[in-house]
Amino acid sequence: MPFPKKRKPLQFTEDELRKLQSIRKSRIEERRRTQRAAFLLDSLAGQSDQAIAQHHQVSRSTVVLCIRKCLEFGLDAALAELPRPGKPRQLPDDAIAWVQHCACQKPKDLGYSYELWTYRLLTAHVRRRCVAAGHPALRQLSRSKLHRILRQGEPRPHKIRYYVEKRDPAFESKMVPVLHVY
């Protein structure tokens, strides 16, 4: 004889039921979403957690977690992933945009004897000028992080064809409002 459930029963509106049934039957929806919708509908139909788990070939704790998320956070949270713990981002978007802006300038224009940027030179330049530019988080910028930033935005400081375009002298003043929009 199974133990009685100590949690509240699931309750859905007609729209939520229709949404769950369409997700369950969907062939283009992610598998985990269709499975979670099936868990919730089966639980609503009165099946035990163990029976649901056996039917869908998952562990009982997977079913229980999905139902708890639905009861605590709602239907959308139960069908989706909750944010995972982790280290918060160290660099804000405006600091990344500033680094990319620096990479697209010629080193000669900034007083260096080099024609093209090297990663070592650009890293040193960013570390030296970041506090004055209002981005103190860049003081500890490593070469690998600089490489990741440049790969993310696709500028290639060692390729000369990127320097043919004219740079906007008012870029930094225009950058802040655009970043606040996004």
Q: Do residues 107 and 170 both lie within one domain?
A: yes
Residues 6+ apart with CB under 8 A from 102: 122, 125, 126, 129
Structure-block tokens of residue 59: 């562990």
- Which positions ≥6 away from 101 have C-beta within 8 Å? 167, 171, 172, 175
Note whether residue 104 is domain-resident: yes
Q: Are residue 97 and residue 176 in the same domain, yes or no?
A: yes
Would 135 be classed as within a structural domain?
yes
Answering whether pTM is above 0.85, one says: no
182 residues of the chain, pLDDT tens digit each: 466 667 888 899 999 999 999 999 999 999 999 999 999 999 999 899 999 999 999 999 999 999 999 999 999 999 998 888 888 888 888 999 999 888 888 888 888 888 888 899 999 999 999 999 999 999 999 999 998 888 887 666 555 554 445 667 788 788 788 877 76
By residue range, what is the domain housing residue 138? 93-181
